[in-house]
């Protein structure tokens, strides 16, 4: 059952957890059967299989790029792909690197880059931290949630990144957004 329309309910549905709210996801069964959605789901399976094939491998092995043909996806499909991959407990470094290369995630729109940053933070993918820093500096309005994610992970490197980014942009940040971020990280 959907929460009542209160501020707490909105926070719980939209801000306190990644992804589409469960009540909305369940109400969209017909939508989830659409061709474009099915294409994304097929791509997710490929990425999960690729990730599974790279878990626990030794570091000295030669890097082999996947021999899988990944589909070209629209911006909306990329957002969905990254949302679905956010639900995975683990993604290998090889998968994270291949995702960035395959879809040129740094060059995508802010929605896609935001999901990419969430994935980078969740999987502590340190080569992607510069993408997170760039996002927090150049897309301040959308970055507030990412500050929280950086702090929640309790990773010293991620927390230092959050503090560094805030120090770089705090003077030009919206006052209310800055207050929210300062409460999270100070």
Structure tokens at 132: 């997170």
Q: Which of 23, 24, 21, 26 is CA-nearest to residue 11?
A: 21
Q: What pTM value is reported for the model?
A: 0.76
What is the reported pLDDT for 67?
A: 61
Give the tens place of pLDDT for each residue, 128-181: 999 999 999 999 889 999 999 999 989 999 999 999 999 999 999 999 999 999
Q: Which of 21-25, 95-99, 116-120 has the lowest mean pLDDT?
A: 21-25
- pLDDT at residue 159 in the model: 96
DSSP letter for each residue of 93-135: HHHHHHHHHHHTGGGS-HHHHHHHHHHHHHTT-GGGHHHHHHH
Distance CA 127, CA 13 (A): 31
Inside any domain, residue 94: yes
Residue 72 covered by a domain: yes
Q: Is residue 59 part of a domain?
A: yes
Q: And the tokens for 158? A: 């991620």
CA 180-183-185 angle, to 5 degrees, is 110
Question: How many domains in the chain?
Answer: 1
Is residue 155 a part of any domain in this protein?
Answer: yes
Any idea what the CATH number is for the domain that residue 75 is in? 1.25.40.320
Identify the pLDDT of residue 123.
97
pLDDT of residue 25: 67
The dihedral formed by the CA atoms of 150, 152, 158 and 162, expressed in degrees to the nearest 10 = 50
- The residue segments making up the domain with residue 166 are 34-185
21 inside domain:
no
pLDDT digits (tens, 9 = 90+) for 2-22: 556 788 888 887 888 777 777
Q: Is residue 122 part of a domain?
A: yes
- Check residues 124 and 39 and name the one with the higher pLDDT: 124
pLDDT at res. 103:
96
Residue 166 and residue 117: Cα distance in Å, rounded? 16
pLDDT reading at 47 higher than 80: yes
Q: Is residue 13 part of a domain?
A: no
| 6 located within any domain | no
Q: How confident is the model over 49-103, as pLDDT tens digits?
A: 888 776 655 554 555 555 667 888 999 999 999 999 999 999 999 999 999 999 9
């Amino acid at each position: 059952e959907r929460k009542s329309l209160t501020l707490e309910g909105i926070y719980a549905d939209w801000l306190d957890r990644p992804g589409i709210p469960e009540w909305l996801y369940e109400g969209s069964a017909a939508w989830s059967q659409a061709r474009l959605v099915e294409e994304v789901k097929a791509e997710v399976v490929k990425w999960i299989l690729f990730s599974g094939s790279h878990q626990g491998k030794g570091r000295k092995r030669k890097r082999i790029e996947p021999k899988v043909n990944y589909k070209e996806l629209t911006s909306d499909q990329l957002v969905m792909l990254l949302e679905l991959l956010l639900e995975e407990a683990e993604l290998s470094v090889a998968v994270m690197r291949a995702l960035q290369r395959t879809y040129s995630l740094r060059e995508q729109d802010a929605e896609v880059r935001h999901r990419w940053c969430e994935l980078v933070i969740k999987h502590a993918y340190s080569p992607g931290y510069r993408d997170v820093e760039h996002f927090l500096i150049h897309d301040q309005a959308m970055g507030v949630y990412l500050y929280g994610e950086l702090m929640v992970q309790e990773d010293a490197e991620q927390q230092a990144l959050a503090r560094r980014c805030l120090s770089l942009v705090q003077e030009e940040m919206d006052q209310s957004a800055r207050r929210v971020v300062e409460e999270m990280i100070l």
